[in-house]
Amino acid sequence: MTDAAIYEQGYRSYGGERTGVGGAIRTLVAHSARAVLGIGRSARHKVMPVAVILMAYTPAAVFLGVAALLPNEIEGEVLPSYAGYYGFVSAALLLFASFVAPELLCTDRRTGMLGVYLASPLDRRTYLLGKTLAIGSILAVVTIGPPLVLLIGLWLADSGPDGLGDGLQLAWRIILSGAVMSAFYAAISMAVSAATDRKGAATATIIGLFFGSLAISNAVVEAGDQSELYRLADLVSLPFELTSRIHGEEGDWASRDISTGLIWLTVLGIIVGCGLFVWDRYRRMLVRR
C-alpha cells in the first residue's frame, strides 16, 4: 500500500459527442440557477434566496397545518383562495424579482463573463434565451411552487378540490398564473438590468418602479379623479389582478370596469415591450473582451 497519487494525467484529447448550442443553453440555465440560489458560493450569497423561499413557502406550511387542525366546515373561512395566496407572499415575490435579474445580467457584464459566453457556442440571442429561461424558472419557484404545494397538501389532507378533474384544472390555473407572473417580473427586471451594469442600482430601480407605479396610479385615479384605466399602470397590483381573473375570482378591480381582456393585453404588452427593449440593448451592446 502506498500513498502515491497521480495528480497530473497529461493532456488528453476529447473525441466524444459535443452537446452543441442546446447543451450550452442548458449549462447556462443550470449555472445561473446555482449562482442565484448561492449553491457553491459563500454563505452570504445564500441568505437572500433562502430568506425569500422561506417567506414564500412558510404561509403554505402554516395553512396546511391549519387545515389539518381545523374541521372542514370552518377551514374555508380561514384559508385564502389560491389567487389570494399571493397577497401573503407579495413581498417575497417583489424582493426576488428585484434580486434575480440584476444578479444574473449585471454581474455577467461587470465581470466580463458576457465576453466569455459570447466566445462559446452561445450568441447574444441564445445567451438571452438561456438567461430568460433561468430567471423565469427561478421566479417560478416562488410564483408556482407555494400555491402548488398548498394544493397538493390540501389534496392529501382531503381538504382539496373534489375529484381529479377539478384538481387538474386548479393545478393548470396555478401553473398558468404563476408562469405569467414569472414572465411579467422577469421581463421588467431584465429590462431594468439591461440598462445598467450596477447590480444595486438595478435592484433599487426595480423596487422603485413597482412601488412608484403603485403610488402614481393611485394618486392619478383617486386624487386626480381620472379614469380607472390608469390602474393598469400599477405594476404591483396588475399581476395579482390577472391571477384572480385566471382563477375565476373577482379581483380588486372587478367593480372598476376593467375587463380581463384589457388586463391580459396590458400584461402581455409589458412582457413583449420589455423583451424588445432587452434585445435592443444587448444587440447594440459593446462587449468587453
Partner 1 sequence: MAAMTTVAREHGTALVAADGVMKRYGSFTVLTGVDFVIGGGITGLLGANGTGKTTLLGMMLGLHPTDGGSLRVLGIDPYTAGAEVRARLGYAPEHHTLPPDVKASDFVRHVAELHGLPKREATTRASDALWLVGLGEERFRPLGTMSTGQRQRVKLAQAIAHDPSLVLLDEPTDGLDPVQRDDMLALIRRVATEYGIDVVLSSHLLDEVQQICDGAVIIGDGRVLASGSLEELRGGGSDIVVELEDAATVQPVVAGLQARDIAVTVDGRLLVATGQDDRVFDIARDVCAHAGAGITRLSRRRLSLEDVFLETTS
Residue from 2, 4, 8, 163 in contact with partner 1 (CB under 8 A):
8
Query: CA 36, CA 95: separation in Å to the nearest integer?
Result: 13
CB-based contacts of 248-255 (< 8 A; 24+ apart in sequence): 248/173, 249/81, 249/83, 249/84, 251/83, 253/228
Which grid cell sits at 198? 450596477
Q: Is the dihedral of CA 84, 89, 90, 94 positive or negative?
A: negative
* Interaction of residue 64 with partner 1, rule CB under 8 A: no
Per-residue mark of binding to partner 1, 109-128 (x: CB under 8 A): -xxxx-xxxxxxxxx--x--
**Least distance (Å) from partner 1 to the CB of residue 289?**
5
Q: From the CB of 198, what's the least distance to partner 1, in Å?
A: 15
Amino acid identity for residue 121 in this structure? P
Which span (71-79, 103-111, 172-180, 273-281) binds partner 1, by CB under 8 A?
103-111
Who's near 121: CB < 8 A, 6+ residues apart? 20, 21, 24
- Is residue 284 a contact point for partner 1 (CB under 8 A)? no
The stretch among 16-24, 162-170, 188-196, 211-219 that binds partner 1 (CB under 8 A) is 16-24
For cell 430567471, the residue is: 135
Task: Please name which of 121, 153, 143 lies closest in space to residue 27, comparing C-alpha atoms.
Answer: 121
Q: Which helix (H) or strand (E) holds 143?
A: helix 124-143
Nearer to partner 1, 130 or 136 (CB): 130
Interface residue with partner 1 among 1, 3, 20, 225 (CB under 8 A) is 20
Task: Name the one range near partner 1 by CB under 8 A: 39-47, 52-60, 71-79, 238-246.
Answer: 39-47
| Residues in touch with partner 1 (CB under 8 A) | 7-14, 16-21, 23-24, 27-28, 31, 40-42, 45, 107, 110-113, 115-123, 126, 287-289
